[in-house]
Amino acid sequence: MKRAVLYARVSTPDQTTATQLHDLRRMAEQRDLQIVHEYTDIISGAKARRPALDEMMTAARRAEFDVALVWASDRLARSVRHFLEVLDELNRLGIEFVSFRENLDTGGPLGRAVVIIVSAVAELERNLIVERVKAGMRRAKLEGRHVGRRRRQVDREAIVRDRQRGLSLSQVAKNHIISRALVCKILRDARNGDGHEGVSPALLQVEENRPPV
């Protein structure tokens, strides 16, 4: 007997999922499916976060069920794109998707054909997003704009001075709100003469978390 989960959603607290769950329980009984969990969300369809749906997808990744029953596709996803992503992931996990209202069953011949089309569309969408990102980065470079995260501005001379005053690497990092690794790099640069002169030989101890001696 295959394990099934039910998913139902309503938009406002004054609505109820009872009708949806009733239809889905009857469908599970007709298909001889064992219901292992029922997921319900009370949240607007426009909201990106749906706690119960997120829980269901986590359970899917753990292979805790074989079939997902929903009352309607628009109850499951917030957009066509989101629906394609969910359906594609369920397919890759080997989980059947059944929609009561649309009479869509990915376990049947027609449903499998739909899955192939959905997977192709989802792959196309992913490729288009990648291409748009790459095109945007190329255009930004051509226009002389910075691409990616901007480098953090730090006072390198102050870091060297703090280290020479006897502060440990961790203390210097905390004072300047940077990582200990970055402190070590700055001190190495100073030791190698990268823009700093007259640096104390004690800076050779950058690998150790203790003040210079």
**The token pair that represents 75 in the structure block:** 């109850």
On whether the CB atoms of residues 37 and 69 are closer than 8 A, the answer is no
d(CA 116, CA 120): 6
d(CA 148, CA 137): 9
The catalytic residue positions are 11
Q: Distance between alpha carbon 12 and the CA centroid of its chain, in Å?
A: 27
Going by the DSSP 8-state scheme, the letter that residue 65 receives in this structure is -
Cβ contacts of 25 within 8 Å, gap of 6 or more: 6, 35
